[in-house]
Amino acid sequence: MSFEAINPATGRTISTHAFLDASQLEQALSSADDAFGSWHGRGVEERAGYLTLLGALLRERKGELASRMTTEMGKPITQAIGEAEKCAWVCDYYAEHAAAYLAPVDVDTDAAKSYWTYRPLGIVLGIMPWNFPFWQVIRFAVPAITAGNVALLKHAPGVPGCALDLEALFRDAGYPSGVFTNLFIDVEAAGRVIDDPRVRGVSLTGSVKAGKAVAKRAGEALKISVLELGGSDPSLVLEDADLDLAAEQCALGRFNNTGQSCIAAKRFIVVEKVREAFQEKLLKQMQAWLPGDPTDPETKLGPMAREELRDQLHAQVMRSVEAGATLVTGGEIPDRPGAWYTPTLLADVAAGMPAYEEELFGPVASILPVPDEDAAIAVANDTSFGLGAAVYTRDRARGERIAAERLDAGSCFVNGIVKSDPRLPFGGTKDSGFGRELSPLGIREFTNRKTVWVK
């Protein structure tokens, strides 16, 4: 058994990496435990100082890191460069703010002095996905490590080169040995790592199935977990929306990263009065999202990451059409090697169809017609997921009210696509998980909020 990287544009194997054996895994755990003993004793200002060089290395190496993403999971090269740059941004953010976010909080009580402080827990395991192979890891590891923890990475099996690149970045930025360690392990070994008493927490970004398994394992071991799971994000297009803006943003939100994003705009819930006009404008926008060579800087849509994921998506599309959805365009598997799929638009999507009930993880957009605002909100919330949502309306106060008060999701945006930002908390509700990454909340997740009372 091994990690195996396959170029999704060609179907050819790039590299294989054997799983760690029991003694190698124990050595990694022991090294991480030893590293925590000294790392957490350093002040937060000293720990945050390493982020400056880490961010600089991410920018310096963005070309080679982007190339790795493109060859291992098919991300168009320009988007891959953007991912590396965003990773550097989160380093900059926590380098500037970590000390303030982790500062003790004084409270007036009957004591001479009382406060709470944020203390690191120990080893944190990150179980990370392939779709944003650098960003997902950096946004977990940077705040956790800067808070004084040490990190183990169990990456997705299809991106082993990215995992090794990440380990090299932390090493070359001067982090002590054991502070960030890549583990080539399978799911069974990951469960044993969660069970290990030296490990104090786990962060997972992945499927609902994986999230439930990790939450159960962590819960049985009484360990904190942060879960960022799937999403079926709605975009509400109201009758007063700027349709040009809405179509442009919906296309970007749906087809960026070839539609392989938990926070992709997956369900376009459109008030019937503007449905036809919106559909025409969306089709026009989709003409710019044509599959092409992912190494070409002009390409916006690459292959999907794996052929089995493409086949699963195609089956969801076909079952939706059989259930009554209208196939407006796409829905085809090109006759070529690799995990390619044509950008697809489904209309007349309704309850009971896979395009309504399930997460479609790829370049497929769905239009769900509704009569009015109340119906749009009801359909938006009629899902087991709750990661993100967007509202398009010229009335910003109306949009803000809907976003803040009526949509059941972790991140709600008005007149723009849902996106992660170091300055804002990121996470979901319902089957989209729990806990928060990024912002002040993210760096405090894997800490002991310790009360200190002095008479």
In order of 233, 315, 365, the CA distances from 286 in angstroms are: 19, 21, 10
pLDDT digits (tens, 9 = 90+) for 162-215: 999 999 999 999 999 999 999 999 999 999 999 999 999 999 999 999 999 999
Q: Phi first, then psi: give them for residue 438, nearest 5 degrees.
A: 65, 175
CA distance 57 to 169: 7
Spatial contact of 352 and 394, defined as CB atoms under 8 Å apart: no
Catalytic option among 72, 83, 167, 228:
228
Catalytic option among 87, 262, 359, 437:
262
Res 1 pLDDT > 70: no
Burial of residue 391 (number of CB atoms within 10 Å: 0-12, 13-18, 19+):
buried
Confidence of residue 265 (pLDDT cuts 50, 70, 90): very high
Spatial contact of 218 and 193, defined as CB atoms under 8 Å apart: no
Mean pLDDT across 56-66: 98
CA distance 444 to 263: 23
In order of 145, 203, 415, the CA distances from 139 in angstroms are: 11, 11, 25
Helix (H, G, I), strand (E, B) or coil at 330: coil
3-state secondary structure 280-304: HHHHHHHCCCCECCCCCCCCCECCC
The pLDDT value given to residue 214: 98
Q: At what angle do helices 135-146 and 160-172 cross, to 10 degrees?
A: 30
Res 434 pLDDT > 90: yes
Mark whether 91 is an active-site residue: no
Burial of residue 78 (number of CB atoms within 10 Å: 0-12, 13-18, 19+):
middle
Q: Which among 28, 46, 261, 227 is positioned nearest to 135, based on CA atoms? A: 261
**DSSP symbol at 319:** H
The pLDDT value given to residue 288: 94
Mark whether 373 is an active-site residue: no
Q: What percent of the chain has pLDDT over 90?
A: 100
Domains of the chain, each with CATH number or no CATH: 2-229+430-454 (3.40.605.10), 233-414 (3.40.309.10)
pLDDT digits (tens, 9 = 90+) for 217-238: 999 999 999 999 999 999 999 9
Q: How far is CA 390 from the centre of its chain?
A: 17
Confidence of residue 2 (pLDDT cuts 50, 70, 90): confident
Instruction: For the chain, give the mean pLDDT.
Output: 98
CA distance 200 to 17: 27
Instruction: Report the DSSP beta bridge partners of residue 368.
Output: 269
pTM: 0.97
Q: Which two tokens stand for residue 418?
A: 């849902």
CA distance 396 to 415: 8
Confidence of residue 157 (pLDDT cuts 50, 70, 90): very high
pLDDT digits (tens, 9 = 90+) for 295-347: 999 999 999 999 999 999 999 999 999 999 999 999 999 999 999 999 999 99
